[in-house]
């Protein structure tokens, strides 16, 4: 996976044809299916609400990712649980970095 996901953005077209810019948080796998976690951004490029969107992710043609809604509740729960685990490791790693800088 590309380790530079933090700098990637995706533009979603919503049902009402409104476009929404989102930052790519991570792409991860659960039971052989890839998922993508997107953080919606406001006009200033930030997110005050903390809302995250999860989608099925595939890239059948290189450079042309495809996103699909997760329709099944059980599948969504598995994807959300795995994302929560990833988020916990990110927070833990941030804490570790803070702890290391305090020791110097």
DSSP secondary structure string for all residues of the chain: --TTGGG-EEEEE-TTS-EEEEEEEEEEEETTEEEEEEEE--TTS--SS---EEEEEEEEETTEEEEE----HHHHHHHHHHHHHHHHHHHHHHHHHHHHHHH-
Please state, in angstroms and as integers, the Cα–Cα distance from residue 47 to each residue in 12, 38, 39, 59, 90, following that order: 15, 11, 7, 27, 18
Instruction: State if pTM tops 0.85.
Output: no
Q: Which residues contact 89 (CB under 8 A, 6 or more apart)?
A: none
pLDDT 10s digits, 11-30: 988 889 999 999 999 999 99
**How confident is the model over 59-97, as pLDDT tens digits?**
888 888 899 999 999 999 999 999 999 999 886 666 555
What's the N-to-C CA distance of the chain in angstroms?
Answer: 33
């Amino acid at each position: 996976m590309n380790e530079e996901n933090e700098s990637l953005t995706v533009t979603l077209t919503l049902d009402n044809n409104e476009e929404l810019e989102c930052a790519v948080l991570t792409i991860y796998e659960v039971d052989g299916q890839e998922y993508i976690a997107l953080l919606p951004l406001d006009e200033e490029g930030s997110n005050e609400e903390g809302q995250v969107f999860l989608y099925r992710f595939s890239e059948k043609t290189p450079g042309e990712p495809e996103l699909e809604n997760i329709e099944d509740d059980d599948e969504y729960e598995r994807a959300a649980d795995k994302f929560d685990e990833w988020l916990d490791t990110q927070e833990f790693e941030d804490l570790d970095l803070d702890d290391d800088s305090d020791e110097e």
